[in-house]
Amino acid sequence: MDEVRDALARLEARLENVERRISALENGPHPATPVTVPAAATASGTPATVEFSLPQAGGIFPVVGKAMLGIAGAYVLRAVAESGSFPKLAVVVLALAYAGTWLIWAVRVPMGARFASSAYAVTAALILAPMLAELTLRFRVLPSPITAGLLALFVIASAALAWKRRLTPVVWVAGLTGVLTALALLIASRDLVPYLAALLLMALACEFAAACNRWGSLRAVVAIGADVGVFVLLNVYSLPPNTRTEYTPVSPAAALALPSFLFLICGTSIAFRTASRRERMTIFEIVQAVISFLLAGFAWLRFPSGAGLTGFGIGCWIFSAACYIVAFARCDRVTDKRNYHVYVTWGAALVLAGCFIVLSPPLATVFLSVASIAVTLLGVRLVRVSLEFQGLAFLAAAALTSGLWEFAGSALAGNLPSAPGWMACVAAVSALVGYAINGRLSGERWNQRLLRLLSAILASGATAAFLIFAVVPRAANGITPDAAHVAVIRTLIVCAFALALAFGGGRWRRTELTWSAYGALALVTAKLLLEDLPHGHSGSIAISIFLYAVALIAVPRVARASRQQKVSE
């Protein structure tokens, strides 16, 4: 004990000596404060030396220490809640106030203290998220709607508090915390609607902030979270009722409203930014709009409500009209090329969606055939290839609803089809008229050539199918032809048709017809392997191969000769 006392005495003497020395230094003369010389120039014209002060790294540890104290306080509140010594509702209010205090502290730090702001925001998030999860899932104090509302309030309050000083880290921490916690509780609680509604409120708040030029990058995170939530909702409630008994029931109205609201949020934001502000549409906005529309469309198709499904189809037409209006009235094809093409493409897709949902096949065939001709004429008149491509898409859809595709496939391969209906005839005539209009397009750009080629393929395919249907029964002299006879007659007709296309392509300088002729030869090649050889006999196979060989030799020569004859004239 005496040795310990001596050691303490010596230590005390040394500390007193150090204090005296520090006091002497503090009371001594102060050095002159150096005057900072402006960096402009000295009297002699030589640039002055500027001294910079580096930030002290020692401030990080106190900030981390304070954050650890905050988390320790959260564990104290958790222990109080577990002990049951206080009413749980009082603990809830105290915990919310505690997390809110740290959030307010995060936005009230000095302007340059970004690390402290981020650390205190993370502390508030680490206090709030686990507390809400335990109070909802373990202690059963908070119902899911209250918890979801508190999460949405946390994100919105963070944005409001950080609005003036544009504290991006605070908003990012709050946004990530809100989205991840809402998704986790959505899955764990089996109560989907409240947390999905909270995600949609967060998405709405993010879109509003982005419209005010704040935190636009956070939109993608919140939008992905909302997409995942809607997908989980649709996936779960598409299952049979007896397989989802642990989930809270959801009304069909809610299952339709939530995905539709997501699409409206995305669509309204894009319309405001592109039509009002004339901003360029981003890849994220394009992808998000497509995803949200597909989710909403799946909801309306999965949970139909009679007139509601018809209303959705009519809504597609209304949105289509809006897309065309924005494309032609608010987008310039040169400066806003992406916006113009995206809006025009969306308009065509929505027209087709409305037709397939609302109209019956006969009405859809007539409507799409007329629309294809009208849009093609408008595209030629305004010199807009995008409209002509849309006319081609409408024509392909008309061929689908009319049964023309099925008729042509049966005529060119397989069993001979029965007589085509009037809808197939309408679609075939529309294909011929469409090619006659597109043939007037004289440009040589790749998209113009592709348009003429696709239009020629549709028209020539329909024509060849009707020729085969008309010729094959009459070429058999009144008897029912067998598979070998049908194969030979088809080969003859297709080869002759290829020669006609080659002649027309060279004569009228229609490159697309020449390429269609080579396409017909490719069809004959596949036909020999799949039909003539398996189903024919030696004589029919020999005739088919002979016709094919003659066509291979003659098609290039006919195209070249007709082209040279046209040049000489």
| Spatial distance between the Cα atoms of 352 and 375, rounded to a whole number of angstroms | 13
State the pLDDT confidence band at 303, using cuts at 50, 70 and 90. Answer: confident
Predicted pLDDT of residue 459 = 93
- Asked whether the predicted pLDDT for residue 566 surpasses 80, the reply is no
Buried b (16+ CB within 10 A) or exposed e, 198-226: bbbbbbbbbbebbeeebbbebbebbbbbb
Q: Say how far apart CA 497 and CA 511 lie, in whole Å.
A: 16
Round to whole Å and give the CA distance between 543 and 274: 63
* Amino acid at site 367: F
What is residue 252's predicted lDDT score, i.e. its pLDDT?
A: 87
pLDDT computed for residue 292 by the predictor: 96
What is the mean pLDDT of the segment spanning 425-454? 87
Average pLDDT, integer, range 330-354: 89
Q: How far apart are CA 250 and CA 237, in angstroms?
A: 8
DSSP track, 528-569: IIIIIHHH--HHHHHHHHHHHHHHHHHHHHHHHHHHHHHHH-
The count of other CB atoms within 10 Å of the CB of residue 275 is 18
Token pair recorded at residue 192: 């989907």
| 46-49 contacts at long range (C-beta below 8 A, 24 or more positions apart) | none
pLDDT for the residue numbered 481: 64
Q: What's the whole-number mean pLDDT along residues 171-199?
A: 96
Q: What is the pTM of this model?
A: 0.80
Q: Determine contact, residues 469/408, Cβ cutoff 8 Å.
A: no
pLDDT digits (tens, 9 = 90+) for 216-266: 999 999 999 999 999 999 999 988 888 888 999 998 889 999 999 999 999
Range with top average pLDDT, 344-358, 429-443, 480-494, 554-568:
344-358
Residue 548 pLDDT exceeds 80: yes
Handedness of CA 406, 407, 412, 415 (dihedral sign): positive
Quick one: pLDDT at residue 41?
39
Contact yes or no for 388/451 (Cβ under 8 A) = yes
pLDDT band at 70; cut points 50, 70, 90: confident
Q: Do residues 269 and 275 make contact, with C-beta atoms less than 8 angstroms apart?
A: no
**Alpha carbon distance 440, 381 (integer Å):** 10
Q: Which two tokens stand for residue 77?
A: 């509140």
At residue 550, the pLDDT reads 94
Give the residue among 421, 533, 445 at the shortest CA–CA distance from 488. 533
Q: Which amino acid is at 381?
A: R
Query: How distant is the alpha carbon of residue 125 from its chain centre?
Result: 30
Region class of 242: left (phi > 0), else alpha (psi between -120 and 50), else beta = alpha
Q: Is the pLDDT of residue 20 over 80?
A: no
Is the pLDDT score of 420 beyond 80? yes
Name residues whose C-beta falls within 8 Å of residue 329's C-beta, 6 or more positions apart in sequence.
Answer: none
How confident is the model at residue 175, as a pLDDT? 96
CA distance 369 to 473: 29
Count CA atoms closer than 13 A to 448's CA, side-chain side. Answer: 14
Q: Do 435 and 456 form a contact (C-beta atoms < 8 A)?
A: yes
pLDDT value of position 479: 52
Region 372-379: mean pLDDT is 92
Predicted local distance difference test score (pLDDT) of residue 43: 39
Statement: residue 567 has pLDDT above 50: yes
pLDDT at 360 over 50: yes
Task: Give 84-141 pLDDT, tens digit per residue.
Answer: 777 878 888 888 999 999 999 999 988 778 888 999 999 999 999 999 998 899 888 8
pLDDT of residue 336: 80
Q: What angle do CA 453, 454, 456 make, to 5 degrees?
A: 65
What pLDDT does 565 receive?
64
What is d(CA 359, CA 397) in angstroms, rounded to the nearest whole number? 13
* Angstrom distance (rounded) from CA 505 to CA 501: 6
**Residue 160: its pLDDT value, please?**
95
Please name which of 125, 145, 133 lies closest in space to residue 70, comparing C-alpha atoms: 125
34 pLDDT higher than 50: no
pLDDT over 80 (residue 33): no
Q: Tell whether the model's pLDDT for residue 37 goes beyond 50.
A: no
| Residues of the chain above pLDDT 70, percent | 85
Do residues 372 and 392 touch, judged by C-beta distance below 8 A?
Answer: yes
Residue with the bigger pLDDT between 498 and 309: it is 498
- Which is higher by pLDDT, 58 or 72? 72
* Average pLDDT of the chain, as a whole number: 85
Band of residue 536 on the pLDDT scale cut at 50, 70, 90: confident
- pLDDT band per the 50, 70, 90 thresholds, residue 39: very low
Q: Work out the pLDDT band at 470, boundaries 50, 70, 90.
A: confident
User: Using 50, 70 and 90 to split pLDDT, how confident is the model at 31?
Assistant: very low
Alpha carbon distance 289, 563 (integer Å): 49
pLDDT mean over 42-70: 58
Decide if pLDDT at 46 tops 50: no
**Residue type present at position 52:** F
Q: Report whether pLDDT(521) > 90.
A: yes
- What separation in angstroms does the CA of 199 have from each of 53, 94, 194, 264? 45, 25, 9, 14
- Assigned token pair, 259: 């995905």
